[in-house]
Amino acid sequence: MEIESRVEVERRREKEMAEFLPLKIVERRMIVAAVRLSRGCRREAAMILGISEATLYRRLKEYGQ
């Protein structure tokens, strides 16, 4: 079995990390999807997401929605 060089290991790690999106982007997408799914009912969207309505309102304000 061949031993990987440090460069190869780092390249593989960078490739794996490139598959991940920042958490804020994922969170925003989930919130937008929940609001759409609930047809704009923020109370229902908050329930879908498992967060309080206050948290949903804060996040929407933060994301300019």
Residue 50 scores a pLDDT above 80: yes
pTM of this prediction?
0.70
Q: Which two tokens stand for residue 29?
A: 């997408």
What phi and psi values does residue 53 have, to the nearest 5 degrees?
A: -60, -40
> How confident is the model over 26-48, as a mean pLDDT?
96
**CA of residue 15 relative to chain centroid, distance:** 19
The one-character DSSP state at 41 is -
Res. 41 pLDDT band, cuts 50 70 90:
very high
Pairwise CA distance, residues 13 & 11, whole Å: 5
The percent of residues above 90 in pLDDT, for the chain, comes to: 60
> How confident is the model over 20-36, as a mean pLDDT?
92
Number of other CB atoms surrounding residue 30 within 10 Å:
14
Pairwise CA distance, residues 29 & 35, whole Å: 10
> How confident is the model over 8-37, as a mean pLDDT?
87
